[in-house]
C-alpha cells in the first residue's frame, strides 16, 4: 500500500511529553524510565511484545492509571498532578480507542456515539447531535449501522464505531490501542486508511499501539520500540526495521511467521 | 518449616486483604454520598433504573407474595383454632406480613433478581473497559452508573415492599374469605387493627435499608470486578450472597432497635 502523507508536523510544538516514567504493579515492573515526545501533527507507532506495558503507557497518558514516578505532559497539562476538573477538560481533547473497542453494549450505535456528546454538551439540540453523529459515521464509513447493537457488528466495525465515538468530541490527540489486532488483512488495511484519514481530516497527533508491522509502517511518521519497559529504539520505521539488534529481530521474525 | 512459613504468609495476606476490603468499602460508601448530592443529576437515567428494578422483579414478587400470604394463613389456622382464636388470624397476618415478611421477602427476591443483575452488568462493563471508556470521555462512571443504581434500588424496593404486603394480605384474605366468608373491608380492618404508625415506619426503614444494601453490594462487586469473564460471574454471585447475608444481619439489628424504642 502506498502512503502519500501530506500533513504538517510541527517539531516546535510538543503535544505529549513524557520523562522518567516508572510504573509497577506490586512486584511486577512494567515501565522502567520512559522518555518520549509526540509532536503536533505526527503519528507515532509503538511496537512491542504482548505484556510489555503498551496499554499501561497510554492509560497513564489519559490519567486512567497513575505513574509511580515521572512526568507526563499532554497538551501542556501535567496529567500526573491534575485535579478532577482539569483532567476532565483535558480528556475531552484526547481520543482513546480501546483495544477491545469498549462500546456500551446496552446502547445501539447511535446512542453510543451520541452519549459522550450529550453528557458533555447538554445545551445541544437533538438536531445538532444528529448532525454530529452523521458526520462521524460518515468519517468511518458506516452510515447504515445507526440502529444496530454492538453485538450485531463485526470486529472491524466495532473498532470503527469505537474510533467514531472518540472523534465526535473532536480530539486533538488520538491514542489507538491495537487498532488492527484480530482483524483480517483487508479490514486492517481499511482501519489503517481510516487512521491516516483521521490524521488529515481532524488534524490530530496520534499514538498507535500495535503488534502489526504493516500497520506501523503505513500509519507512522516515527516508530518506537518498547522493550523491557523502556524505548529501545525510536526513529523512522525503516531505520528500526533494518536493525541488527538481536531482541528487535526476534520480534520481527515472530511477526513474519504469523 | 516451610509449611509454617507459607501458612503464616497466607494468614497475614488474608488479614491484609480484609483490612484493605474494609478500606475500599468505606471509600465506596463515602464516594456514594459525596457524588449523590453533587451535580449533574441524571434524572432520566434514575427513572430508567427504577423502572428496571420494578420491571425485573414485579412478576416474581406478585407470585411469591400471594403464595406466602395464602400459605401462612392456611398453616396458622389450625393452631389458632385449637385455642378458639381464629378470629385473630387477620391481625396476626397483618403483623407478620407488614412488619417482617413483606420487606424481607421483597428484598430477598430483589437481591437475587436485581442485585445479581447489577453485579453482572457493572462487572461486564468493567472487564470490557466500558467503565474506562466513560472515564476517558469525561463522563463520571461512578455518578452515572453507581449512584443512579443505588438510588433506584433504595427508592423502588420500599415501594415494591408495600406492594408485596398488599398482595400477601390479599392471599391471606382469600383463605379467610373462603373459610369465614368475611368481607374484604372487615378483613383489612382486622389486619390493621394492631398495626401502629411506628410499625409502618419500621417496615419502611427496613425496606429502605435493604434496598440500599442490594444496590450498594451489587454495585460494589460489579464495579470492582477483576479482569476476565470469570470476574463477571463472581461479581454477580458475590452480589447475591453478601446482600442476603447483610440483609439478615440488618433485620436482626432493626428489630432489636425498634423493640428497644417501643419498650422505652
Ligand atoms: N490494573 C493492573 N493491575 C495489575 N497488573 C496490571 C494492570 N494492568 C496491566 N497490568 C500488567 O502490566 C503488564 C502490561 O500490561 P499491558 O496491558 O500494558 O500490556 P500490553 O503491552 O498492552 O500487552 P498486549 O499487547 O497484550 O495488549 C501485564 O503484565 C499486566 O499483567
Ligand atoms: Mg494492550
Asked if residues B146 and B32 have their Cβ atoms less than 8 Å apart, the reply is yes
Residue nearest ligand 1's atom 28 by CA: A51
Measured distance CA(B111)–CA(B46) in Å, rounded: 19
Q: How far is CA A198 from the centre of its chain?
A: 11
Asked if residues B64 and B112 have their Cβ atoms less than 8 Å apart, the reply is no
Tens of pLDDT, residue by residue over B173-194, are 999 998 888 888 999 998 899 8
- Is A62–B136 a contact, with Cβ atoms under 8 angstroms apart? yes
Tens of pLDDT, residue by residue over B70-128, are 999 999 999 988 988 888 889 999 999 999 999 999 999 999 999 999 999 999 999 99
- Is B136–A104 a contact, with Cβ atoms under 8 angstroms apart? no
Cα end-to-end span (Å), chain B:
58
Residues 6 or more apart from B162 whose CB is under 8 A from it?
B102, B207
Tens of pLDDT, residue by residue over B189-226, are 988 998 999 999 999 999 999 999 999 999 999 999 98
Q: Is A91 on the interface with B (CB under 8 A)?
A: yes
- Evaluate whether residue B255 is within a structural domain: yes
The CB of A229 under 6 Å from ligand 1? The reply is no
A-chain CB neighbours of B132 within 8 Å are 59, 64, 98, 102
The range of the structural domain enclosing residue B86 comes to 42-263
Query: In the prediction, which pLDDT does A233 show?
Result: 79
The CB of A55 under 6 Å from ligand 1? The reply is yes
Shortest Cα distance from B52 to chain A (angstroms)? 13
The CB of A53 under 6 Å from ligand 1? The reply is yes
Residues of B with CB under 8 A from a CB of A: 40, 121, 124-125, 128-130, 132-133, 135-139, 144
Q: Would the pLDDT of A2 be above 50?
A: no
Q: Is A102 on the interface with B (CB under 8 A)?
A: yes
| A100 CA from centroid of ligand 2 (Å) | 9
C-alpha cell at B182: 368475611
Residue nearest ligand 1's atom 10 by CA: A25
- Is B138–A91 a contact, with Cβ atoms under 8 angstroms apart? yes
Residue nearest ligand 1's atom 9 by CA: A56
C-alpha cell at B218: 451489587
- Evaluate whether residue B29 is within a structural domain: no
Tens of pLDDT, residue by residue over B138-163, are 999 999 999 999 999 999 999 999 99
- Evaluate whether residue B2 is within a structural domain: no
| B131 CA from centroid of ligand 1 (Å) | 17
- Evaluate whether residue B14 is within a structural domain: no
- Evaluate whether residue B96 is within a structural domain: yes
Q: Would the pLDDT of A11 be above 70?
A: yes
Shortest Cα distance from B100 to chain A (angstroms)? 36
- What would the mean pLDDT of B39-67 be, rounded to a whole number? 93
Q: What are the structural domains, with CATH classification, of chain A? A: 1-93+173-258 (3.40.50.300), 102-170 (no CATH)
- What would the mean pLDDT of A112-136 be, rounded to a whole number? 91
Query: In the prediction, which pLDDT does B262 show?
Result: 87
Closest residue on chain B to A103 (Cα): B130
Residue nearest ligand 1's atom 5 by CA: A25
- Evaluate whether residue B19 is within a structural domain: no
- Evaluate whether residue B239 is within a structural domain: yes
Lowest average pLDDT, out of A4-8, A20-24, A168-172, A238-242, goes to A4-8
Tens of pLDDT, residue by residue over B31-42, are 999 999 988 889
ipTM of the complex: 0.88
Shortest Cα distance from B203 to chain A (angstroms)? 35
Q: How confident is the model at residue B1 (pLDDT cuts 50, 70, 90)?
A: very low
| Pairwise pLDDT comparison (A252 vs A54), residue with the higher score | A54
Q: How confident is the model at residue B9 (pLDDT cuts 50, 70, 90)?
A: confident
Q: How confident is the model at residue A257 (pLDDT cuts 50, 70, 90)?
A: very low
Give chain B's domain count: 1
Query: In the prediction, which pLDDT does B2 show?
Result: 52
Residue nearest ligand 1's atom 19 by CA: A51
Comparing C-alpha atoms, which of A141, A177, A144 is closest to residue A56? Answer: A177
Q: Is the pTM of the predicted complex or chain greater than 0.80? A: yes
Q: Is A121 on the interface with B (CB under 8 A)?
A: no
- Evaluate whether residue B17 is within a structural domain: no
CA-to-CA dists, residue B262 to B55, B86, B98, B157, B209, angstroms: 36, 27, 17, 25, 20
Measured distance CA(B243)–CA(A178) in Å, rounded: 39
State what percent of residues in chain B have pLDDT above 90.
Answer: 75
Amino acid at each position: 500500500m502506498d502512503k502519500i502523507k501530506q500533513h504538517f508536523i510541527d517539531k516546535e510544538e510538543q503535544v505529549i511529553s513524557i520523562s522518567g516514567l516508572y510504573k509497577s504493579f506490586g512486584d511486577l515492573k512494567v515501565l522502567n524510565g520512559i522518555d518520549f515526545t509526540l509532536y503536533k501533527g505526527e503519528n507515532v507507532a509503538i511496537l512491542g511484545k504482548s505484556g510489555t506495558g503498551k496499554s499501561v503507557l497510554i492509560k497513564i497518558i489519559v490519567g486512567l492509571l497513575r505513574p509511580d514516578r515521572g512526568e507526563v505532559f499532554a497538551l501542556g497539562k501535567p496529567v500526573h498532578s491534575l485535579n478532577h476538573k482539569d483532567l476532565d477538560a483535558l480528556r475531552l481533547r484526547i481520543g482513546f480507542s480501546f483495544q477491545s473497542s469498549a462500546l456500551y453494549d446496552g446502547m445501539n450505535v447511535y446512542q453510543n456515539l451520541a452519549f459522550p456528546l450529550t453528557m458533555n454538551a447538554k445545551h445541544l439540540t437533538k438536531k445538532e447531535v444528529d448532525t454530529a453523529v452523521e458526520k462521524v459515521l460518515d468519517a468511518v464509513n458506516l452510515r447504515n449501522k445507526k440502529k444496530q447493537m454492538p453485538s450485531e457488528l463485526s470486529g472491524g466495525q466495532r473498532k470503527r464505531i469505537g474510533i467514531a465515538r472518540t472523534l465526535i468530541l473532536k480530539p486533538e490527540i488520538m491514542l489507538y490501542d491495537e487498532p488492527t489486532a484480530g482483524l483480517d488483512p483487508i479490514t486492517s488495511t481499511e482501519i489503517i486508511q481510516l487512521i491516516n484519514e483521521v490524521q488529515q481530516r481532524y488534524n490530530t497527533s496520534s499514538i498507535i499501539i500495535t503488534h502489526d508491522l504493516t500497520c506501523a509502517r503505513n500509519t507512522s511518521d516515527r516508530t518506537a520500540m518498547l522493550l523491557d519497559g523502556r524505548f529501545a529504539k525510536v526513529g523512522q520505521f525503516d531505520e528500526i526495521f533494518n536493525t541488527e539488534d538481536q531482541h528487535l529481530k526476534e520480534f520481527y521474525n515472530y511477526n513474519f511467521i504469523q | 518449616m516451610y509449611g509454617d512459613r507459607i501458612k503464616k504468609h497466607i494468614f497475614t495476606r488474608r488479614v491484609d486483604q480484609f483490612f484493605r476490603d474494609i478500606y475500599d468499602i468505606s471509600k465506596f460508601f463515602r464516594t456514594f454520598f459525596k457524588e449523590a448530592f453533587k451535580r449533574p443529576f441524571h434524572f432520566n437515567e434514575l427513572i430508567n433504573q427504577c423502572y428496571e428494578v420494578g420491571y425485573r422483579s414485579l412478576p416474581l414478587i406478585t407470585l411469591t407474595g400471594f403464595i406466602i400470604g395464602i400459605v401462612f394463613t392456611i398453616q396458622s389456622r389450625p393452631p389458632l383454632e385449637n385455642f378458639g382464636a381464629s378470629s385473630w388470624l387477620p391481625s396476626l397476618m397483618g403483623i407478620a406480613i407488614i412488619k417482617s415478611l413483606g420487606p424481607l421477602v421483597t428484598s430477598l427476591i430483589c437481591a437475587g433478581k436485581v442485585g445479581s443483575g447489577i453485579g453482572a452488568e457493572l462487572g461486564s462493563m468493567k472487564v470490557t473497559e466500558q467503565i474506562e471508556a466513560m472515564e476517558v470521555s469525561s463522563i463520571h462512571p461512578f455518578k452515572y452508573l453507581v449512584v443512579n443504581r443505588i438510588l433506584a434500588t433504595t427508592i423502588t424496593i420500599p415501594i415494591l415492599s408495600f406492594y408485596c404486603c398488599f398482595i400477601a394480605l390479599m392471599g391471606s384474605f382469600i383463605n379467610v374469605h373462603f373459610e369465614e366468608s368475611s368481607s374484604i373491608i372487615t378483613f383489612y380492618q382486622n389486619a390493621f387493627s394492631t398495626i401502629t404508625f411506628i410499625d409502618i415506619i419500621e417496615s419502611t426503614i427496613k425496606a429502605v435499608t435493604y434496598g440500599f444494601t442490594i444496590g450498594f453490594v451489587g454495585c460494589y462487586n460489579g464495579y470492582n470486578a477483576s479482569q476476565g469473564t470469570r470476574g463477571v460471574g463472581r461479581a454477580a454471585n458475590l452480589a447475591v450472597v453478601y446482600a442476603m447475608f447483610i440483609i439478615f444481619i440488618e433485620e436482626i439489628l432493626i428489630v432489636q432497635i425498634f423493640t428497644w424504642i417501643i419498650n422505652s
